[in-house]
Amino acid sequence: MKRIQDIEKLSAAELERIGADESIPVPEDFAIRLPSSRRKAFAWSAAAAVLLFAGVSAYQWAQRPKDTFQDPYLAYVAVEQAFGKLSGTVHRASEKMEAAENTMEKVNYWK
């Protein structure tokens, strides 16, 4: 019996030669067992796909945002606060980017 690494190194012509070799014994019930195992593998794959889809769907459904504000003015205040935090973060990031650009210009000057 060959190792998988040895089989992977074989060329297509060598694999065809081995496949056409009639001296290699093949079990008589091989043709009967093969479709059954393929059906089982397909059934397990289909079941796994359905379970995966159901799990992802349930997770996404649980992650949907819920309406937490009854008063539209309170919702507006919350949005303004969120945008204020975002603006501050973007401003700090742009300052850091400008500092990095200045450093890069100094490095490029000395090249």
pLDDT score of 30: 64
Count the residues in the chain: 111
**What torsion do the CA atoms of 65, 66, 72, 73 make, to the nearest 10 degrees?**
-70
Lowest mean pLDDT among 38-47, 71-80, 100-109: 100-109
pTM of the model as a whole? 0.33
Q: Which domain holds residue 88?
A: 69-111
Average pLDDT over residues 35-52: 81
How does residue 37 score in pLDDT terms, banded at 50, 70 and 90?
Answer: low
Encode pLDDT of 11-23 as tens digits. Answer: 888 888 887 887 8
Cβ distance 30 to 39 under 8 Å? no
How many domains would you assign to the chain? 1
Instruction: Write the CA distances from 93 to 15, 20, 80, 83, 99, integer angstroms.
Output: 59, 66, 20, 15, 10
Let me know if residue 16 belongs to a domain.
Answer: no
For residue 18, being part of any structural domain is answered with: no
